[in-house]
Chain A
Amino acid sequence: DGGITQSPKYLFRKEGQNVTLSCEQNLNHDAMYWYRQDPGQGLRLIYYSQIVNDFQKGDIAEGYSVSREKKESFPLTVTSAQKNPTAFYLCASNRGSYLGNEQFFGPGTRLTVL
């Protein structure tokens, strides 16, 4: 089955700790995206990558970091510099903007900072 997987589903961390959220896709998509969702708000873009070994900041990149060493994987690290990290994090992928803008989402990871 082709799709996007995110792990873990729920994640708890203590203040001051870095944590890495996993995102893997087997859709052979070129582009991948990370979003943050807070209650009552739309999705806000954190980082995106259109090709391996390249990524760009989104609207709310401060306190986050990413890597794109493989086409299938786009992990997101929430650093201790992120002031309010408790949120629902969503990963998405796209075939490549030249092929259309439809993004397909993973099931999400809910991060709670204790």
Chain B
Amino acid sequence: GQQLNQSPQSMFIQEGEDVSMNCTSSSIFNTWLWYKQDPGEGPVLLIALYKAGELTSNGRLTAQFGITRKDSFLNISASIPSDVGIYFCAGSFLSGNTGKLIFGQGTTLQVKP
């Protein structure tokens, strides 16, 4: 099926550093979503993007919907230990909208205090 390319696959950073991750698709999306998953739990929605070029913040998190509609990035500023987890991007297609999402493979973030 359709794949999203999410990178990097994993990151190990020092507390206080900024983090950046991104997703790219070969198809045009009308929605980009970013989720965080703690170990053994379900993903939690962080940010939803619906418009090309849109830049949205949620506390220390900022995400952007790429102008081409084929990519999105997530930035985390001044990382803290509780930022540890797996971050997933997800997108849905422009046409034939069934609410289905395509997920990236995740970015595993580890923060060293």
Contact = CB atoms under 8 A, between A and B. Distances in A.
A103 B101 contact: yes
B31 interface: yes
Contacts of B48: 100-102
Given A42-B103, A59-B1, A101-B92, A107 B42 contact: yes
B49 to A, nearest CB: 10
B103 A50 contact: no
Given A42-B4, A102-B33, A97 B97 contact: yes
Contacts of B4: 42
A43 B31 contact: no
B42 A48 contact: no
Interface of B: 1, 4, 6, 30-31, 33, 35, 40-45, 48, 50, 88, 90, 92, 97-101, 103-106
Interface of A: 4, 6, 31, 33, 40-45, 48, 50, 56, 58-59, 88, 90, 92, 94, 96-98, 100-108, 110
